Structure 1
Amino acid sequence: METSMEQARKVMAEAIATVTALLQENHLTTASRTELLDFAIDTGALLRTAQAALIVTTAEAEERSTGAGQERLDVSCGCRNVNELMQRTTGAAPTTIKTWSRLGRMVREDLGMTGERRPARFPALRDALLSGRIGADGLAAATGPLDAIRDRVPADHLALADQALAEATTTEDEEIVLREESGEFGDWGALIPDENPITAQRRVPVMTDTLRVHAGAWATALDQDGAEPQDERARQLRTLYFGTAQDGIVPVRGRLLPDVAAQLQTLIDAINNPHGKEKGVRFRDSGEPALNDDRTSGQRAHDALATALTIAAASSEAPTIGGAAPTLVVHVTEDSLTTGSGWAHVTGADATGTNVPVPVSVANHTACVGAVQRVITGTNGRVLATTITDRIFNATQRRAIIARDHTCIIPGCHTPARWCEFHHVTEWHDGGPTSIDNGVLLCWNHHRYLDTNGWHIRIKDGVPEVQAPDWYDHTQTWHPTRPPAPTLPRIPART
C-alpha cells in the first residue's frame, strides 16, 4: 500500500509530465482566452502549493540539522549547511532558499521542552499558506510588518492581525464563479465567451501588494509607540556605498531614509518630465512623427541624478572644499584632448579613490562646463607647470543664451534652462570662443553623449540649428530650434 508521501510524489510526477508535454508542444499558442486564463489560475495555484511545500521542507530540514556530527541531515548528505542541501535538491538560488528559511520560521510549529508542538508565530497565515491561498510572496508581505513589531505589541493583538490578514487572502466562500451576464467581475467577465458563460470554479488569490498594504496598516495601528524606535533604527541603517569601477560603471548600493528617497524621486520625476509633456522629438516646422526617448527608466533616473548633482555643485550654497567650490577633477593628456581619442581619468569615482579610466569625451564634457587645469609633468612624474584657463560662460552670456534658447535645444527635450548646461558649439580646444554666438543650452544627457547620439548643432545668423541623426532624417536637413516668426496679414491704413 502506497504511503501518503509516495502518492504525492506520483501525482506530482504525473502533473509535471503533463504540463511539460503541453509546453513543449506549444499548446498555449492555440489556447482560447478562457483556456489561457484557466491555465494561469491553475498554474498559480500549483506554484503557491509548491512554494508552501518547499518552505515547510526547508524548515523541517533545518530542524533535522541541529546538533553535531553525522546525525545532522545536512552533514549526512555531504552538505555544509541546509542552504547547500536545498540548492542541490531544488536548483534554487541561495537567496531564494534564505527566503524559504525565514518564512519557515514564521509558520513552523516548533517542538517544546515536553516534545509537544507549539503554535506557529502566525497560525492563521500558516493555514492560508498550507491551503494554497497564498504563496511565498504573499506570506512575506503579510508577516514582514507584523514580525517587526512582534516584541512590542500584545500577543492577542498580533493574533487579531494574523486572523484578519488570513481572512483577506480569499473571498468569503474561498471560490468564485465567473459569469459574463452578472457583470460582477468587471473586465474578467469579458474573458468568458458567449458559448461558455460559466467556467469551472477557481480560487482567486489576493494580490501580494494588497496584503502588503493591509499588513502595513495593521502594524501601524498596533504599534503606536513604534515610530520613534523605527526612525532610530532607520537612522542607523541608512547607507550609501560606491563599489569598484568595472567596465566603465561604478556600482552603487545603499538604503535611503524614506524622506530622502521621496525627495530624490520627486527631483528625478521633475527633471525627466518638467512640464508634464510627452517626451519625443518633433520639429516645429515639420509634420514628421515624433522620435521617442529610447532611454530606459533606469537610464533616465541616472541622467536626472547627474543633472541634479551638476546643479548642486554649481550652487553658491554648496559647501566648499579647501576654500573652493566642489570640482570634479578629470586628468587627460594634452595629446588625447587635442586628438579626441584615448583615455582620461576621473579622480575619486569609486570606493578605491584611485583614478578611473573614462573616454576623452568625458573630459571634453567636463571641461565645457568648468575650468581646465592643465598639469605638465616630467617623465619622472614631477609637476613642471600648471595653467588654469577659464572657459566658463559668464553671467551676462548665460542670461543672453537662456533668453534665446529657453530649454535644451534638442527638439522634443523640454528640460528647462535652469537644469541645462552651456555647450561650446565649436569646441573650445578647436578654437571656439566662449561667446553667445558659440554657446547653446543642452541637458546633461544630450550634452554628455553629443559625440555619439547622432545630433549635430550649428549656429547660423546667431540662431541655433540642429540636424537629426541620419537614421531618422535621411535628408539631413538643418532645422531651426525656434518656431518661425508668424507672418501677419497687412492691415490697410485708415484713410
Structure 2
Amino acid sequence: MPSPTAAIAEALSALDAAWGDAPDTSALPDATVKLINERVADLRRRVDGLHARVAAEVAARSRPELGTEGLARKNGFRTPAKLIAEATGGHTADAVRLIQVGQATAPRMSLSGEILPAKHPHIAAAIDAGSISVTAAGAITTMLDRVSLRVDEAIRDHAEETLARKAPLLTYDELLAVLRRAEAHLDPDGLEPRVTEQHGERSLKIAQDAAGMTVLTARLDPESAAPVVAAIEAIVTHQLRTSRGHNAAPPTTGNGDHDVADPVDAAGDSDAGASWRRKGAAVEESRSLTQMRADALAAICRHAIGCDRDALPSSAVTVVVRMTLDDVRGGAGVATIDGMEAPIDAGSARRMAAAADIIPCVLGTDSEVLDWGRAKRHFTSAQRLILVERDGGCSSCHLPPAFTEAHHIRWWERDSGPTDLDNAILLCTSCHHRVHADGWEIRIDTPPGAPPSAGSVWFIPPPHVDPTRTPRLGGRRRFDPLAWGLTA
C-alpha cells in the first residue's frame, strides 16, 4: 500500500488531470465538473485521514504525564485539540474527532513493544483507501466502542467490516440513522435503559417572546413523539395533496395510487393532476411547511377541546410499530416506528400496541389478500402496510411513509400492470416524477418462498446518469442493519 503522502499526491494528480487547462470551473463541461467534485472529495478524505493519524501522534506526545514537556504544553496550548484547532482554524470539537479517529485506527504497541493491529482495522483500511470520511469513521467507531463490553468480539468485527463497506454509499445523516438501529440490534439489552432515560428527559416548554409569539420547545422520546408526528404530518400531507401548489400531488381515491410512469406535462404534473387543476378544485397552497405544521397542531388542539370537530382529515391517523412475532411473544428485542428513526425496546412497543390507533405490524395472515391482479385498480391498505415494511417510505429518497403513494411499476392502463406487490412501489411525488422524467427503471427482487416484505428494490439509472447502468439499492434494505446481518 502506498504511503499516505503518496496516496495524496496520486489523488492530487488525478484532480489536476481532470481539471486540464481550463482557467476556471465556468469553462468546464458538466461531466468534468462532476468528475472534479469527486476528485476533490477523494482528496479531502485522504488528507483528513492523514491528519487523523498526525492528530493521534500529537495527542500521544501531549500525554498528561509528560506535563510541561508535552508537545501541546511546550507550544503554549492546554490540550492537543487546542493546538490542532489553532492550526486548522476550525472548531475544537473537530480536532477532538480527528484525535479519536486517529487513535482508533492507528497501529498499537503492546507492553512488550510488539506492534499490534489498529483497534478498528476495517475502518483504518477504509480511511487508507480514501473510501470513507473521518466524520463517518468517528461515528462508526464511537458506536462500536459503546457496545464493546456487551457484544462478542466476532460480532463487533463483522459489524465493523459491514459498516466500513456500506458507509461510502450513504450520506452522513443516513449513516447516523443506520448506526442508531444497528446499535439497538447489536446491543438489545442496552436499548431499554436508553429508551427509559429518553422518556424521563421528555419535556415541553411554553413561553412568549418579546414579539408576543408563543414559543413551544419540545424534546420527545420516540414513544411520545410518534403520535404527535403522525397526527401533524397526516394533516399536512392531506392538505398538500388537495392543494394546487406545484409541489403537491393531485388528490386520489383509495390509497393514492398512481402509475410510476404516468405522463407528465411541462410543469411536472401528471395528466390526472393537470385535469384536476383545470377544474379549480382547491386553492393554491401558499403557506410554508413550518406554517402548515403550526396550523395542524392548532387544528388538533381545537379538535381535542371540541371547538372544531371537522379539523382532522378523514383518513385515519395511524402509528405503525414494527417488530418480529418472536419479540412480541417474548417481550424482548427491538422495534421501530414508521416515520421515526430512533428504535425502541420491545416493552415500549408492546405498551404502544395496546393503545388506541396504534397498529402492531402483523403481515401476511391468511385472512388478508395481498395480490389483486387486475381485479382492483388501487392498492389496498393491507398492501400498503406490506409496501411500507419493504420500502420503509419513499424507496428513492426515504421520506417517511406519510409522504408517499403506492404506484404501479408497469402501468395499469398502458402495460396492463397488475395491482400486485411485485408491481408496486412507494414513492413521494418528487421522486415519482424524477424517475419517469429521467428514464429510470425499477426492479423488485423477492427470494423464492420469501414474503413480499423481504423483497429488494433496485433503481437502474439511465445511460446518461450512469453509462454502466449499475443497479442502485433502494427501499428499507438500503438502511436496514438486520438485512446486513448486524445482530447480536
Of structures 1 and 2, the larger Rg is shown by 1
Which TM-score band applies after superposition, normalised by the shorter structure? Answer: 0.3 to 0.5
TM-score between the two structures when normalised by the length of structure 2 = 0.46
TM-score between the two structures when normalised by the length of structure 1 = 0.46
- The structure showing larger relative contact order (alpha-carbon pairs under 8 Å, at least 6 residues apart) is 2
